Every structure is written in C-alpha cells, then in structure tokens.
Structure 1
Amino acid sequence: MLKKKATLLTTAAMAVFLATAGCSSGQSSKGGQNEKVTLTVSAAASAQDALEEIQTNYEKSHSNVTIQDNFGSSGTLQKQISQGAGADLFFSAAEDKFEKLVHDGDIDKKDSTDLLKNDLVMIVPEKNSAHLTHLNDLKKDSAEKIALGTPESVPAGQYAKQSLTTLSLWDKVKDKVVYAKDVRQVLSYVETGNVDAGLVYKTDALISKKVKITDEAPAKTHDPIVYPVGIVKDTKHRKEAEAFYQYLQSDEAMKVFKKYGFTAK
C-alpha cells in the first residue's frame, strides 16, 4: 500500500514538473520573440530625413526593435560593408556602389530592390548675390566657388560631374569646384554662403529654407538616380532585417518618402 502511494506521488510530481517545464519553455519562446534587437542601417546621407521619420513610425509599432543609422556617402558606406563593418541593411544612392556588394556576395540579389528615384538640382544661397539662375551661369566670373560631392565616393557628385560634362561646362568650372564628403556637406556650404552654388539632390534642397533651387539638371545628362536597398548577408538579425526591408516598400513608408521629394521607382 505504501509502495503504491509512493508511486502515485512520484507520478504526480513528474506531471507537475513537466507542466512547469512546458510553461517555462513557452515563456522562454515568447520572450525570445520580444528580445530587444538593434538594426544598423547604412544609408545615403540624402535619405536621412525621410528615413528618420520612417524609422520613428516603425519603432512605435515594433517596440522590440531599435534602428541605428549610419549615414554617409554611398561609396564610403559600400567600402565599410566590404571591409566587414556591421550593417543589417544598405540603402544606397547609387546603383554601381550597391551592385559592387551584390557582385562580391555581400548582398543577395533576391534580398534587394530598386526603391526610389531622385533629381539633381542647382542651388544657391538665399540671397544669391552672384545672380546665378541656370547651370550655364556657373561659368560666369561671379560664380567663384561651386560645391560638389567628391565624384569618386559621393553619387551626387558623380551625377553632377556627368551632367556638367554632358553640357560642356565641366572644363570651364572644374577649377572652381569645392569638394564635399557627402551631399549634406554640399548643402551646408551653400547654406552658409561659403560657396556661390552647389549641385545636390532635389530632396536635400527641399528640406532647407536657406537655399533656393534655380535650375534642374536634365535627366538625360546623367545616369538615372536610383536608390536600391537590400539586406546585408552577414546580418545577425535576419528576421527583423527582412521585416524592416519589407516595411520600407510599404504604402505607409512610401508616403513619407514622397513627402520629402522622392518618387517611387
């Protein structure tokens, strides 16, 4: 009788243990789903304002995700990723910089898409004391300094040089050029009046009240300005990176991009 009672107690204890273990396992799994994750997005400086708003909106509905930005020129960011710098997504302002990572195996083509388009414009300080209204005016003596992104690493600078070359202006203005590390630095140079004009993306010009757009580079004078985005293959947060990648393509995100002057690809 005592032996039978002991067996029943042992069985009951085992049942309680299994139930507790099952419950604990379930809680652990649920906790794993809510684990805090930080995603690093390496993105072209020209996308900064739009991305920051989009990311704020995203974090409100994804409390376990924090998005950390690394803004800069697309060429610099591409080299960082190539050299193993930690990044979960790459948002480029140039297809060639992006395709280099695809070619080298750092981004899988199936995990990427051409997301946005942009335009290239000429801007001047608000006072426009040099009286520059057209791209052709850049060859005037009053245009003493012209800001461009460094063409080798800054896509906006690359597009600007292409456009000025196509318009037969490059040889006339190249000695006036002040090079900048990214498109936001070009914008800053013009805002502060340190240069007489600059060439930037339309989206950058629209966020500043200290500059005026006076001309737009014809699309046929430079390569198409396309913004690809993709998931870096070495991401340690594949699930969360895929979710944010998909969100960037959503109607909600596209409304924000359009608000800042981008157009859908």
Structure 2
Amino acid sequence: MRPLSRPLSRPLSRPLFRPLFRLFAHALAATAFALTFSAQARADDLIVSAAASLTNAFKAVGDAFEQQHPGTRLLFNFGASDVLMQQIVNGAPADVFASADQKAMDKAAAEKVIVPATRKDFAANSLVLIVPTDSRFAPASLNELTAANVKRVAYGDPASVPVGRYTEGALKSAGVWDAVSAKGVLATNVRQSLDYVSRGEVDAGFVFGTDAAIMPEKVKVALTVPTQAPITYPIAQVEGSRHAADAQSFIAFVLSPAGQAVLAKYGFKPAPAR
C-alpha cells in the first residue's frame, strides 16, 4: 500500500511494523484528543463523537435539535469510527457515539463503553468508486482498477476506518484485493479519501455515496459498489455520560421523522429493519 508521503525516508518492510504503527498512532491520537478536547468542552456540553461521513448531516441535525432544545449545546467530534471508539475507551469525554459500521460499535460494546439498550441503527449508505471530474477513467467494473494506467487508489485504512473495511470486502469478493491494495493510498478517514480524489492526487478512491455528493464539482461517481453486508450506522449513549437524559433525547431526535428528514437531505437512507 502506497501512502502519498512517508515520514521515514526509507520505509520499513517488516510485517509487524504496519500494525504496530497503527496501534501507536491510534493511541497517540486518542491521548492528544483527550487533552485538547477536554479543555474546549464545557461541563454542560452534550458531546457527540460521530463518524466523519456524518459531518455535514450531523451538523444540520444538531442545529435542528438545539432549536427544539434551547438549553442544550452540542459539541461534535468527527473522525474515523474506530479512532473515536478508542478515544472513548481511553477516557475522552463523550455522551453519544455514532459509528459508520456495526464493527466499530461492536468493539465499543465489547469494551463496555456504551449502554447496550440505547443502541439503534439510524441510517444506511452506499459504497461508491469516485474519480476526479476531469478524469477519462470510466471503469465498468472493479477489475479495471488492476490496469497498468491506474497508479493510485485511495480508501480508508481497513484497520480503523469502516469505509476501508467495506472496500476490502468488495475488492476481495471481486478477486482483485491483492492487485488493488498494492496501489493503495490509505486514508485516516473517508473524508481524506475524498480529498485525495478531489485534488487529483489519486486516480480513483472509495467513499460513501453521501461523501461523493458534497463535492459534485470535483469528483464523480464511476461505480456504485455492492457490499457483502448492508452499510448501516448505529448510535448509542456512552456509558457513564453525565448527560444521559440529553443523550437519549438526541438519539431519539436522530431517529424521529424530523431527524430522518435532515439525514435524507444529505443522501442518507433509513436503516433497514432488523
């Protein structure tokens, strides 16, 4: 997998380097967040840690929620779902956690940092392959990503980013994971993958459909990619929240017709019934 830039002049090739580096990076990010975000948060803020792909939609949801709850101030923390989960495990302040896949929420449940009874699926999304708007690359299938003229393909790191896990599953299902991952440019979250494509730094990239929709002047959807499992977003109250009632009110609002209408404006679909 080929990053856009390397902090080391000579990359290490030992098999254990990459997973160890990821663990170190995630721990460092969680520690830095706990120090900086804690200083910014007020005692009465309702803190929502949410997947990066929810950035635009949740800001709008937050505005609508605050209008209905004038005594509550929302503070959002957006990022890769697994990184957010690790921040919460490490003690970073949070009242609500919203993930871009079930696996990150399952990890949160296993770490006992969410209230299981409050966990609900609230939205669905799609996986798409995007290219820069001026690109002539128009693949009819994922197999075309193996072509020699395709040099770089961006996607989230499967170790910590839900869109990366969906991408890995789709490419393995198509039988092209090994070939495409050799050209891979790993992103720390889905919005970074979007940025790489929008700036023309890669030939193509994998993002959620809702992410592609926010930059129609810079990227275009080349393929809608089938996934092995539906792309669903769960939300839950964080265990030990100092604002449990407000957290549950926010979750209820996200699930309400008003909240769902806001999400729909940003391309999210209702979560399928389980």
Report if TM-score (shorter chain) is over 0.5.
yes
- Structure 2's unaligned 5+ residue stretches are 1-42
Larger CA deviation: 193-202 vs 57-66: 57-66
Q: In structure 1, how many angstroms separate the alpha carbons of the residues matched to 2:255 and 2:116?
A: 16
- Superposition deviation, residue 131 in structure 1: 4.3
Matching of residue 216 in structure 1 with residue 244 in structure 2: no
Residue 128 of structure 2: aligned partner: 121
Q: In structure 2, how many angstroms separate the alpha carbons of the residues matched to 1:243 and 1:158?
A: 31
CA 1:133–1:125 in structure 2 vs 1: closer, same or farther (change >3 Å)? farther
Q: Assess if the C-alpha contact under 8 Å between 1:130 and 1:142 holds in 2.
A: no
One-letter amino acid matched to 2:212: A
Residue 36 of structure 2: aligned partner: none
Within-5 A mapping of 1:23-62:
37-62=44-69
Aligned residue for 1:107, secondary structure, equals coil
One-letter amino acid matched to 2:256: S
Matching of residue 139 in structure 1 with residue 146 in structure 2: yes
Residue 170 of structure 2: aligned partner: 163
Deviations 1:155-189 (Å, cap 9, x if unpaired)? 00111011001101112211111001000000000
Matching of residue 251 in structure 1 with residue 257 in structure 2: yes
- Structure 1's unaligned 5+ residue stretches are 1-35
Aligned residue for 2:159, secondary structure, equals coil
Within-5 A mapping of 1:57-72:
57-72=64-79
Matching of residue 232 in structure 1 with residue 238 in structure 2: yes
Within-5 A mapping of 1:69-88:
69-88=76-95
Alpha-carbon RMSD:
1.5
Q: In structure 2, how many angstroms separate the alpha carbons of the residues matched to 1:136 and 1:51?
A: 35
Aligned residue for 2:83, secondary structure, equals helix
Deviations 1:23-57 (Å, cap 9, x if unpaired)? xxxxxxxxxxxxx9311100000011110011011
Q: Assess if the C-alpha contact under 8 Å between 1:134 and 1:214 holds in 2.
A: no
Residue 264 of structure 1: aligned partner: 270
CA 1:207–1:133 in structure 2 vs 1: closer, same or farther (change >3 Å)? farther
- Superposition deviation, residue 98 in structure 1: 0.5
TM-score (norm 2): 0.80
Q: In structure 2, how many angstroms separate the alpha carbons of the residues matched to 1:166 and 1:248?
A: 33
Which one has the largest radius of gyration? 1
Deviations 1:118-139 (Å, cap 9, x if unpaired)? 1100000001144445322211
Residue 205 of structure 2: aligned partner: 198
Deviations 1:107-151 (Å, cap 9, x if unpaired)? 121111111111100000001144445322211122110001000
Q: Which has the higher helix share?
A: 1
Residue 247 of structure 2: aligned partner: 241
Paired residue total: 229
Aligned residue for 1:212, secondary structure, equals strand
Matching of residue 93 in structure 1 with residue 100 in structure 2: yes
